[in-house]
């Protein structure tokens, strides 16, 4: 799937013509990286979007898919949107209990090991490129009795920013996790904001 075709008229209030190709490239790269999982995520966002903002039904399906994929990696600032929509997290615990890999940075491994007075290799493992939490799915620090994180105040930066990630282009984007209501709803409202800015919807 290649994004970008003729989206300029839909996102004209948000994107300059010169930015369109860059955004399309970033969106396509994300789709190529995640494949069917990304498509499922976009489908889920569109399903909710049609309920929250029926005016999007005037767009064709390909147009809507392109807009959602492109706004994900651009558009209304993701971090600001996340702060506005913190209550969309249902506390389902999927992120801590079902994610198979949690990548952390070097500073996380040093800080958490020091605070817990453990050797780094007891808590984290390296694949040669990235450090990961050693026991995941569920995470070793997830408390299944109450769904809380046992190290919440010193949790890794990945967990602080979930469901946000920064891609190789340095753009904020959302994890394509259909199970995460937070991830879906943040993108739904980002798209509505983008279309309002472009005067495509009221």
Task: Report residue 40 as tokens.
Answer: 């499922």
Taking the least distance from each CB to ligand SF4, the nearer of 89 and 125 is 89
Distances (CA, A) of 97 to 18, 87, 91, 145, 165: 42, 20, 11, 12, 19
Q: How many CB atoms lie within 10 A of CB 25?
A: 15
For the bound state, the minimum distance from the C-beta of residue 139 to ligand SF4, rounded and expressed in Å, comes to 3
Interacting residues toward ligand SF4 by CB under 6 A: 89-96, 102, 139, 141-142, 149, 151, 155-156, 159, 162-163, 180-182
Buried b (16+ CB within 10 A) or exposed e, 1-19: eebbeebeebbeebbeeee
For the bound state, the minimum distance from the C-beta of residue 170 to ligand SF4, rounded and expressed in Å, comes to 23
- List the one residue out of 137, 130, 151 whose CA is nearest residue 99: 137
Task: Report residue 20 as tokens.
Answer: 């369109």
Instruction: Let me know if 116 is exposed, middle or buried by CB neighbors in 10 A (0-12, 13-18, 19+).
Output: middle
Taking the least distance from each CB to ligand SF4, the nearer of 26 and 175 is 175
- Which residue is it, tokens 């952390």? 104
Is 155 in contact with 105 (CB distance < 8 Å)? no
For the bound state, the minimum distance from the C-beta of residue 6 to ligand SF4, rounded and expressed in Å, comes to 34
For the bound state, the minimum distance from the C-beta of residue 89 to ligand SF4, rounded and expressed in Å, comes to 3
Taking the least distance from each CB to ligand SF4, the nearer of 66 and 108 is 108
Taking the least distance from each CB to ligand SF4, the nearer of 28 and 113 is 113
For the bound state, the minimum distance from the C-beta of residue 87 to ligand SF4, rounded and expressed in Å, comes to 10
């Amino acid at each position: 799937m290649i994004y970008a075709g003729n989206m300029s008229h839909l996102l004209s209030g948000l994107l300059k013509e010169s930015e369109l190709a860059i955004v399309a490239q970033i969106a396509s790269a994300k789709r190529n990286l995640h494949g069917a999982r990304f498509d499922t995520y976009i489908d889920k966002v569109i399903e909710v979007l049609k309920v929250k903002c029926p005016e999007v039904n005037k767009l064709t399906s390909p147009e809507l898919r392109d807009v959602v994929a492109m706004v994900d990696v651009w558009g209304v600032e993701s971090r600001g949107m996340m702060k506005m929509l913190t209550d969309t997290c249902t506390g389902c615990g999927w992120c801590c209990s079902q994610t198979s890999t949690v990548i952390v940075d070097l500073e996380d491994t040093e800080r958490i090991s020091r605070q817990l007075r453990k050797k780094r290799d007891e808590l984290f493992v390296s694949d040669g490129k990235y450090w990961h939490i050693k026991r995941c799915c569920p995470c070793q620090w997830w408390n299944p009795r109450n769904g809380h994180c046992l190290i919440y105040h010193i949790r890794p930066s990945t967990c602080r920013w979930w469901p946000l990630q920064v891609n190789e282009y340095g753009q904020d984007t959302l994890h394509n996790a259909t199970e995460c209501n937070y991830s879906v709803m943040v993108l739904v409202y980002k798209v509505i904001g983008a279309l309002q800015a472009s005067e495509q919807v009221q």
